[in-house]
């Protein structure tokens, strides 16, 4: 009579470890080229994003269409925002240590803000009516947190070539370009430091919703040929 032999259990682990490594590598590739997930740790972008939200960020959205006024961007703040020690700006990589281990994710130098000024724009606050203007035209800001003024800090800046002027939607709680006017770079973020655009709130479940790009007409009436 022939007898069958049970395969040693440990044989299966020879395949499990390579599968885990492959899964991490594929995840890292997807996150570095297309999509990434971040955690919002503060109220600086309310009401659009709340503290505790997890957001899906596309790294490719600005390939077809360039960054525009009113766009929300996730960016690397090294050399611009990174000196801020406010606790109300950085977004945190959702996968934490794993993301840092594969070298593909941001951390304490990664921020999320809204684009108010493009290269060449003259951004001023505030005008006689207390509003924010771009190139002499008042900006409509329907995204502002209810009760917030456009800015308690007065400023008048011209955005240099290749840079952006960024502000949070919850102005009273946001450390942004205004906070770095006297620092090197003047709070202006290089365009090439933009990581991507949030496209979806994925957690909590009751806030699961797509994040669209605003129409230019809904953001500002400024006309400067851009």
CATH number for the domain spanning 151: value is 2.10.109.10
User: Is 207 part of a structural domain of the chain?
Assistant: yes
Q: Residue 213 and residue 68: Cα distance in Å, rounded? A: 9
pLDDT at 176: 93
The residue count for the chain: 226
pLDDT at 149: 95
pLDDT at 211: 94
Q: Residues 202, 55: contact at Cβ < 8 Å?
A: yes
pLDDT at 31: 47
Q: What separation in angstroms does the CA of 182 have from each of 20, 179, 186?
A: 48, 8, 6
pLDDT at 13: 57
pLDDT at 177: 94
Q: Range of 140's domain?
A: 35-219
State both tokens at 90: 């950085």
User: Is 67 part of a structural domain of the chain?
Assistant: yes
pLDDT at 222: 41
State both tokens at 126: 């505030």
Of 92, 48, 54, the closest CA to residue 71 belongs to 48
pLDDT at 78: 85
Q: What burial class does residue 176 get, using C-beta atoms within 10 Å of its C-beta: 0-12 exposed, 13-18 middle, 19+ buried?
A: buried
List active site positions: 44, 113
User: Is 63 part of a structural domain of the chain?
Assistant: yes
pLDDT at 84: 60
- Scan for tokens 């430091």, then name that residue: 193
Q: How many domains does the chain have?
A: 1
Q: Residues 164, 123: contact at Cβ < 8 Å?
A: no
List of the chain residues with pLDDT < 70: 1-34, 83-107, 216-226
Q: Residue 195 and residue 106: Cα distance in Å, rounded? A: 9
């Amino acid at each position: 009579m022939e007898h069958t032999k049970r395969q040693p259990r440990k044989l299966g682990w020879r395949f499990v470890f390579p599968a885990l490594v492959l899964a991490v590598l594929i995840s890292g590739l997807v996150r570095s080229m297309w999509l990434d997930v971040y955690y919002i740790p503060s109220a600086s972008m309310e009401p659009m994003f709340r503290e505790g939200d997890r957001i899906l960020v596309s790294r490719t959205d600005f390939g077809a269409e360039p960054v525009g006024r009113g766009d929300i961007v996730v960016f690397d703040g090294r050399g611009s925002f990174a000196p801020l020690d406010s606790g109300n700006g950085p977004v945190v990589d959702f996968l934490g240590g794993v993301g840092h281990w594969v070298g593909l994710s941001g951390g304490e130098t990664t921020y999320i803000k809204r684009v108010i000024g493009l290269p060449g724009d003259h951004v001023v606050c505030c005008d006689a009516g207390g509003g924010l203007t771009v190139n002499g035209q008042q900006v409509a800001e329907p995204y502002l947190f209810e009760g917030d003024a456009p800015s308690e800090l007065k400023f008048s800046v011209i955005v240099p070539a290749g840079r952006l002027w960024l502000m949070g939607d919850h102005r009273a709680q946001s450390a942004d370009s205004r906070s770095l006017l006297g620092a090197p770079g003047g709070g202006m973020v290089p365009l090439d430091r933009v990581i991507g655009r949030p496209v979806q709130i994925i957690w909590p479940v009751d806030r699961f919703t797509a994040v669209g790009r605003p129409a230019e007409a809904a953001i500002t009436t400024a006309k400067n040929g851009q």
